[in-house]
Every structure is written in structure tokens, then in C-alpha cells.
């Protein structure tokens, strides 16, 4: 199983682009290194990923199978955080 570490700080989500194969189980290790609450959301109902909320210092490991190929925006939608750089892309490759 492929594991991808996703770090949220107060000003960015790293990596900015996450590439995953379709139809394979992926473990996303979400880590909030910021000083405020963050969330990790993947836009698009067709990708089937739910918003995950993280408190400062919190880590969550999630396993998910992305079935629909495409490019999906990732972001933290709390306040103006997306506009400050907390956004990126998840690319599901066929």
C-alpha cells in the first residue's frame, strides 16, 4: 500500500500535487503542523473523499481508493486559509 504524507502548516499544504493510481488503496497520513485548526478536503463528489478536520499537532491516517481518474483540488476551507496558500491538487491516474 502506498503511503503519502500530507503536511498542513498555517500557510501551505505539502505536497502541492499528490499523484495516486486509480483503483489502488492509498494511505494518506495527514499532519497538522500549524497553530490553528485545519481541514483537508478534496473537491468533487466523484472522488468520494470526505473532509477531514485536524487540530494543531494532530495526525490522521486514512485509507482510500480513488476510482475516478482526474484532477481534483485540495484545500483547507476554514476562513481565508485557501487564499493564503492552503490548496493544491490530487491527480488520480488511470
Bond preceding residue 58 cis, omega within 30 of 0: no
**Correct CATH for 2-93 of 3.40.1790.10, 3.30.70.20, 2.60.40.420, 3.90.550.10:** 2.60.40.420
Asked if 58 and 45 count as a contact pair (C-beta separation under 8 A), the reply is no
pLDDT in tens, the chain (94 residues): 999 999 999 889 999 999 999 999 999 999 999 999 999 988 876 777 778 899 999 999 999 999 999 999 898 877 765 566 688 999 999 9
| Structure confidence at residue 69 (pLDDT) | 93
Q: Which residue has the cell 499528490?
A: 18
Q: Which residue has the cell 497520513?
A: 29
Domain ranges of the chain: 2-93
Amino acid at each position: 500500500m502506498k503511503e503519502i504524507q500530507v503536511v498542513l502548516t498555517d500557510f501551505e499544504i505539502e505536497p502541492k500535487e499528490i499523484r495516486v493510481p486509480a483503483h489502488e488503496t492509498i494511505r494518506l497520513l495527514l499532519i497538522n503542523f500549524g497553530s490553528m485548526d485545519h481541514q483537508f478536503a478534496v473537491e468533487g463528489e466523484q472522488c468520494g473523499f470526505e473532509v477531514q478536520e485536524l487540530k494543531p499537532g494532530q495526525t490522521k491516517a486514512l485509507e482510500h481508493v480513488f476510482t475516478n481518474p482526474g484532477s481534483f483540488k485540495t484545500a483547507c476551507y476554514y476562513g481565508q486559509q485557501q487564499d493564503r496558500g492552503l490548496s493544491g491538487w490530487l491527480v488520480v491516474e488511470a
